[in-house]
Amino acid sequence: MKILLAAPRGFCAGVNMAVQSLDLALKHFGAPVYVYHEIVHNQYVVKSFQSKGAVFVDSLEEIPPKSTVLFSAHGVAPTIRKLASERELHAIDATCPLVTKVHLEAIKFAKEHYTIVLIGHQGHDEVIGTMGEAPEAIVLVESTQEVDRLEYGPDTKLAYLTQTTLSVDDANRIIQRLKSRFPWIVGPPKEDICYATQNRQEAVRVIADEATKVIVLGSQNSSNSQRLRELAQEQGRTAYLVDGPEDLSVEWFEESDVVLVTAGASAPEEVVASTLAWLESNFDSTLELREVRKEEVHFPLPRALRVLQ
């Protein structure tokens, strides 16, 4: 078996910052540290932090007053920040700066009286947070079909924004349909889909032609990991999205396979290593690193934590 290891893969700068933030908060403040929603959409990371004393909640009412709470990389709506203040919670904001950029764009467009078409997935934490910035001004679309159902005339100021973890191809199709139907629509000064999402998709697009099977390491609720699996399938490859080697089966593979291994932006490198070890222990394999693009992006820790370093 030949294994092609994609690069870049795994943790992006935003996830790395959020994970470091929670790690430092636990060390400084001690357990429990509460986290509003999952710190990132990866079960390995979530379970690892639970074992260290992190408590993940879906409502701030679950958190005792004056406790420490960390907002995840996906961002939160202003109503959540307000409620945290009312409950006297010590809030640490680990929102990815690229998500914050989309929030600020939504606020700007709403103040200028635009109707904002947000391209994203219903119910995703990032989408909920972005829509919360200007709920009266934002309409969500997930497909070109939903764009076709929109009814706006030239007298309506229109703008579009996107969730940061979408398929680049899918987002572009929807953006083109919006521009076709509403030629006056305006977009953000710089595209919203994050560099890491694009780079991981590019790596799969470039390398998958050489592979017969693709393993994407990531959780089922990870939007960017799902897009990697879909992209491989669109290229005619059998693709598996798994949390780790425990989800793999030897029956899925042949000795003659060329297997591309990649990881979503919230999957840690130790899961990649254990997956490679599993493949190497079950098959006579060789490993080749395929680096499509270098990444050297780093985000600073939240201000509340920088002083603790």
Each residue's pLDDT tens digit in the chain (309 positions)? 999 999 999 999 999 999 999 999 999 999 999 999 999 999 999 999 999 999 999 999 999 999 999 999 999 999 999 999 999 999 999 999 999 999 999 999 999 999 999 999 999 999 999 999 999 999 999 999 999 999 999 999 999 999 999 989 999 999 999 999 999 999 998 889 999 999 999 999 999 999 999 999 999 999 999 999 999 999 999 999 999 999 999 999 999 999 999 999 999 999 999 999 999 999 999 999 999 999 999 999 998 898 776
Concerning whether 136 is annotated as a catalytic residue, the answer is: no
Q: What is the pTM of this model?
A: 0.91
169 Cβ neighbours under 8 A, 6+ residues apart: 231
Instruction: Indicate the CATH number for domain 13-96+300-306.
Output: 3.40.50.11270
> For residue 279, what pLDDT is reported?
97
Q: Ramachandran region of residue 252, left (φ > 0), alpha (ψ -120 to 50) or beta?
A: alpha
Q: What single letter denotes the amino acid at residue 92? A: I
Alpha-carbon distance of 225 to 217, in angstroms, equals 7
Q: Do domains 2-11+195-291 and 98-181 have the same CATH topology?
A: yes
Catalytic position from the list 38, 105, 126, 133: 126
Pairing of strands 286-291, 90-93: unpaired
Q: What are residue 141's phi and psi, to 5 degrees?
A: -130, 145
> For residue 309, what pLDDT is reported?
65
101 close to 133: Cβ distance less than 8 angstroms: no
Domain locations in the chain? 2-11+195-291, 13-96+300-306, 98-181
Structure tokens at 55: 């408590």
> For residue 261, what pLDDT is reported?
98
77 close to 36: Cβ distance less than 8 angstroms: no
Architecture of the domain made up of 98-181: 3-Layer(aba) Sandwich (3.40)
Fold designation for 2-11+195-291:
Cobalt-precorrin-4 Transmethylase; domain 1 (3.40.1010)
214 close to 260: Cβ distance less than 8 angstroms: yes
DSSP 64: P
Can you say whether the dihedral through the CA atoms of 124, 127, 133, 135 is positive or negative?
negative
Please give the sequence-ordered ranges of beta strands (E in DSSP) within 28-173, or none if there are none.
33-36, 54-57, 68-71, 90-93, 115-119, 138-141, 158-162
